[in-house]
Amino acid sequence: GFRFQDPSGTWSVDNLVGFSTNPVVRTKRRETQISWGNYVSWFDFRCLDKATVEVRRGVRRKMVAVRAEKRRRGDPAGPLAEEMITVTARTRCDQAVDRRRKIRVVRRIADLLPAVIFRPITGPQQWTLIYLHGMGSSAIENYSDKPHYFVDGSTSLKIVVPTAPLREVSCFDGWWVKSQRKKQACGSLCSSSPRWRLNQFTSWYDYLSNHDGRREDAIDWQSLGAIQRALHGIIQREASELGGRPDRIVIGGKSQGCCTALDALLTYPRPLGGFVGIVGHLLGCTPVEPGGPQAQTPLHFFHEPEDSMMRWDWVQHGERRLREAGYTVYARHCLDLERNGHCVGGIEGTWVRSALRSICSPKRVC
Distance CA 189, CA 49 (A): 89
Alpha helices in 111-176 (DSSP H): 139-143
pLDDT at 194: 60
End-to-end Cα, the chain, rounded Å: 27
Rounded (to 5) percent helix, strand, coil in the chain: 25, 30, 45
pLDDT at 366: 44
pLDDT in tens, 166-191: 999 999 999 999 877 655 555 555 55
Q: Is the separation of the CB atoms in 139 and 80 below 8 Å?
A: no
Q: Name the DSSP letter for residue 106.
A: P
Its pTM surpasses 0.85: yes
Distance CA 56, CA 53 (A): 10
Please identify every stretch of the chain with a pLDDT value under 50, giving residue numbers as ranges.
365-366
Burial of 38 (0-12, 13-18, 19+ CB in 10 A): buried
The helix (H) or strand (E) run that includes residue 54 is strand 52-71
Distance CA 288, CA 286 (A): 7
